Amino acid sequence: MNSIAPQVVQDLEKLWRKVKDSDVRALVIASSNPLLYSAGADIKSFTTLDESSGEELLRSTHALFEELGAGGVATIAAVNGLAFGGGCELAMACDVRIAARTALFGQPEIRLGIIPGFGGTQRLPRLVGASKALEMNLVGDPILAEEAFELGLANRVVDDHELLDTALAWARRLAGQAPLALHAIKRVSGAGELQQGLAAEREAFASVFASADAREGITAFLAKRTPRFTGS
């Protein structure tokens, strides 16, 4: 399911370090699963995290995602099928998102009694606008690829069989741009309060994740039953 589990984050970090230490100028992040990009965070692994390991997962994932959007390597997400939760947040952290027509984007964390923890409360409003982002985060319903394109979440929508070729074409084009100019544009574009917002998100996620409602939401999800939230 390409879940954003601690081991997956570590693997992505190793790949990113290798890319940064090479002459690679563009990176496509795609899925080998034809049905989905990423189903989101590995909820089952959440039940094994203590406060220290949970904070480390938040820190390392945030740091990696921030580098994807600010480093000197152009990053392209080739999104097929489901891109939910952490998967949607991974795609949003990239510079460009190419979506297959069957792609679905969503932030369903609220249904588990938690909140987006990998940038969803900050990058989504910057891409689709504050009102739509609030709706997506509060309701949890996904949107289709065409709507994602209309809102600015996807840069292009292509037929499913054209997805990887299109993403690679974007990579080749961006890799041919002047490296210093590309890095500078990425660094200063939209410069503002993102860092403060991401810090606030990390703090809020940690607080909500420690609640009884979060435990109930995650337990209910794993047990495939409707959660009973109490507000505690």
The answer to whether residue 202 sits within a structural domain is yes
Identify whether 193 is a catalytic site residue: no
Q: Where are the beta strands (DSSP E) in the chain?
A: 26-29, 36-38, 74-79, 82-84, 96-100, 104-106, 143-144, 156-158
Q: How many domains does the chain have?
A: 1
**Res 191: pLDDT:** 67
Q: What's the CATH code of the domain at 75?
A: 3.90.226.10
**Res 195: pLDDT:** 82
Q: Which of 109, 146, 147, 203 is catalytic?
A: 109
**Res 110: pLDDT:** 97
If you compute the radius of gyration of the chain from its CA atoms, what whole number of angstroms results?
A: 17
Residues of the domain holding 189:
6-161+179-223
How many whole angstroms separate alpha carbon 62 and alpha carbon 60?
Answer: 6
**Res 118: pLDDT:** 96
The reported pTM is: 0.91
The answer to whether residue 219 sits within a structural domain is yes
Three-state DSSP at 195 gives helix
Quick: pLDDT tens for 109-137: 999 999 999 999 999 999 999 999 999 99
Identify whether 109 is a catalytic site residue: yes
Contacts of 187 (CB under 8 A, 6+ apart): 70
In 10 A of CB 195, how many CB atoms?
A: 12
The answer to whether residue 173 sits within a structural domain is no
Residue spans of the chain under pLDDT 70:
190-191
Q: Which of 55, 89, 193, 201 is catalytic?
A: 89
